[in-house]
Amino acid sequence: MEQAFESNPLIDRLPKHLKQFIKPQDYEDYTPINQAVWRYVMRKNVDYLSKVAHNSYLDGLKKTGLEVDNIPNMYGMNRILKEIGWAAVAVDGFIPPNAFMEFQAYNVLVIASDIRQLEHIEYTPAPDIIHEGAGHAPIIANPEYAEYLRRFGEIGCKAISSSRDYEMYEAIRLLSILKEAEGTPQADIDAAAAQVDFLQNNMGELSEMARIRNLHWWTVEYGLIGSVDNPKIYGAGLLSSIGESAWCMTDAVKKIPYDISAADQSFDITKPQPQLYVTPDFAYLSQVLEEYASTMALRTGGLSSLKKLIQSNALGTIELSTGLQISGVFTNVIEEEGKPVYVQTTGKTALSYREKELVGHGTQYHAEGFGSPIGKLKGINLAIEDMSPRDLRAYDIYEAEKVTLEFEGNITVSGEIITGSRNLQGEIIIISFKNCTVTHNDTVLFQPEWGIYDMAVGKKVISAFSGPADVNSFDMISHVPSSKTIKAKKSPEREELEGLYLAVRQLRLGQIAQVTLKEAFASVTAHHPNDWLLSVEIAELAHDKDPDLLQKTLNHLESVKLRRPEIAHLISGGLELIFKGELV
């Protein structure tokens, strides 16, 4: 299928493992009801948010080319976003958090291209084009906020997850799909909600990814800006929800000054938020982000960072003090006095330097895993990486020499040196042996018959992060979500209603329609008495043009309010936009 967006250099440079999540935006799939939902939400938002949103919002609507009357086309969005250094791609609902953030690091906005159903016009737990397009896109036109979003993605995609994080992602994705889908049995929704609730209460110690997702939620999604007493909205979740954007400004929602403690405040995606955080300005967001990043394994390294990778049971990378990067699934670390002395991966492993795989050290060569001592030689203050050629010769660390290297932590490497590899600074980063035996006390870690032993050189682990050092080292085009977005059901009744919405839309645009406004009203009241949005649109067109039809429409809407009190405020909200203070 042909892509429904214009090519953009930022999209072209995305790695393959991110491109697997992109899907075409099939604009023709948007129905007249979908367009009416977009228009209602946008008209309400522009009217209300002009008073309570950060001034970047309305400016951004103009800069990003978003229209009130039409669902945005990715083709047009990409042309305009290109001018502010960003791009947009369509995806199917929630994607894994690491991937979502990595898109941001590439200045690419991820947009779930489906749109909420009319029954969920105020709020949906599923990401949709109203949330992404009308919520996220306008604010990134602010350069300072855009840089925060990019930097957040850059740091966030390196955060180490736990196995529970992935379970939570799948559970939330499924729940959001079931709640948004038409006619889902309540028992299915209840079961999915129970699973989310169980996981939310049994996450154990929060992982790096869980904590940085909390920061993302309380800023990018549900952030307020200004003072606690007089905040403005900038979070996309609030900007795209006509219900919560009003609710959040009441005293019922506690306002808290934003700081790093928000990383430990978890959230429930299925309910309105009981508290929100207020940042004084966008610059402060970046300050807190850097404060949090300084606590991550990405920057701290050491034994604790290795343990995080082992607990994640997922592809990750450690970087040694020489700059050598080891990428794989880490399964074991031998420690001594709070320091790692030997590290082990299982399965495909790659060695890199400065995010580029070293020639001859890819996953085909290290297909069975990789293990190496870390640290200094016993009784020698000078680390191997710091040794001069003369020092290396003195300790027999030299080509064709048989040598026994005793490391701190009782790791012994004994074999014949074949060769060594150096980094750009001239430091040795790998030493290769043949006829090599590696032991830890009495435990054999490597035997001669296993072949060549490649020993990483590094006195300490300076960094650890999620994912590979070189994205080309591993085949990561593998993610298949366990759930798919469910499309709205078609029926003769729905088709007829869509036709009426189309006719009213055509009449508003001055186009030829198959029915008149009066005929559309007669049909909707006779065959679709519980529908309310089309009658609001008819009232808009009848205003100042057909007083008799207007009054009939208003009478009908009053009867709908009585039958469906749960949507009475939505009807009133739509009429307020039409009459602008007139008595209704």
Tokens of 456: 């990483």
Backbone phi, psi, residue 318, to 5°: -115, 150
> The tokens 């990409």 sit on which residue?
78
- Give the model's pLDDT for residue 495: 92
Residue 26: how many CB atoms within 10 A of its CB?
12
Q: Given CA atoms 23, 25, 31, 33 in this order, what sign does their dihedral have?
A: positive
Distances (CA, A) of 583 to 135, 576, 580: 32, 9, 9
- Give the model's pLDDT for residue 360: 94
Q: Give which of 159, 173, 251 is closest to 206, Cα–Cα.
A: 159
Max CA distance (Å), the chain: 103
Residues forming a β-bridge with 333: 343
- Give the model's pLDDT for residue 487: 59
β-pairing, 87-91 with 108-112? parallel
Identity of the amino acid at 226: G
Q: Give which of 464, 468, 454 is closest to 373, Cα–Cα.
A: 454
Cα–Cα dist 25/30, whole Å: 10
β-pairing, 275-279 with 224-226? parallel
Who contacts 502 (Cβ-Cβ below 8 Å, separation ≥6)?
32, 513
Tokens of 45: 């938002």
Side by side, which strands form the sheet with 224-226? 231-233, 224-226, 275-279, 254-257
Who contacts 552 (Cβ-Cβ below 8 Å, separation ≥6)?
521
Q: Give which of 149, 64, 59, 65 is closest to 108, Cα–Cα.
A: 149
- Give the model's pLDDT for residue 218: 97
Which string of b and e fits 343-368 if b means at least 16 CB within 10 Å? bbbeebbbbbbeeebbeebbbebbee
Cα–Cα dist 69/35, whole Å: 8
- Cβ atoms of 151 and 289 closer than 8 Å: yes
**Cα three-residue angle 18-22-26, rounded to 5 degrees:** 175
pTM: 0.86
Under DSSP, the state recorded for 53 is: B
Tokens of 344: 């082990």
Q: Give which of 57, 100, 111, 104 is closest to 85, Cα–Cα.
A: 104
CA 271 to chain centre: 19
Backbone phi, psi, residue 126, to 5°: -85, 135
- Kind and range of the H or E run holding 343: strand 339-353
Which string of b and e fits 83-112 if b means at least 16 CB within 10 Å? ebebbbbbbbbbbbbbbbbbbbbbbbbbbb
Per-residue pLDDT of the chain (584 residues; tens, 9 = 90+): 344 445 678 898 999 899 989 988 889 999 999 999 999 998 988 888 888 999 898 888 878 778 889 998 888 888 888 888 999 898 887 788 888 899 999 999 998 888 888 888 887 767 788 887 788 888 888 999 999 999 999 999 999 998 777 777 778 778 777 776 777 788 888 888 888 878 777 777 889 999 999 999 999 999 999 999 999 999 988 988 877 888 899 999 999 999 999 999 988 777 788 999 999 999 999 999 999 999 999 999 999 999 999 999 999 999 999 999 999 999 999 999 999 999 999 999 999 999 999 999 999 999 999 999 999 999 998 999 999 999 999 999 999 999 999 999 999 999 999 999 998 888 899 999 999 999 999 999 999 999 999 999 999 999 999 999 999 999 877 655 555 555 566 778 889 999 999 999 999 999 998 899 999 999 999 999 999 999 999 999 999 899 999 999 999 999 999 999 999 999 999 999 898 755 44
Q: Give which of 405, 407, 478, 464 is closest to 436, Cα–Cα.
A: 405
Beta strands per DSSP E along 193-288 = 224-226, 231-233, 254-257, 275-279
Distances (CA, A) of 325 to 74, 349, 422, 460: 38, 10, 13, 12
Tell me whether residue 489 is exposed, middle or buried, using C-beta atoms within 10 angstroms of its C-beta: 0 to 12, 13 to 18, 19 or more.
exposed
- Kind and range of the H or E run holding 527: helix 517-527
Cα–Cα dist 502/361, whole Å: 60
- Give the model's pLDDT for residue 583: 45
Under DSSP, the state recorded for 384 is: G
Residues forming a β-bridge with 108: 87
- Cβ atoms of 157 and 98 closer than 8 Å: yes
- Cβ atoms of 139 and 145 closer than 8 Å: yes
**Cα three-residue angle 335-339-341, rounded to 5 degrees:** 55
Q: Helices 143-156 and 208-216 sit at what angle, rounded to 10 degrees?
A: 160
- Give the model's pLDDT for residue 434: 96
Tokens of 192: 């999915």
Residues forming a β-bridge with 464: 318
- Cβ atoms of 433 and 290 closer than 8 Å: no
Tokens of 372: 């190496």
Under DSSP, the state recorded for 514 is: S
Tokens of 230: 């007089």
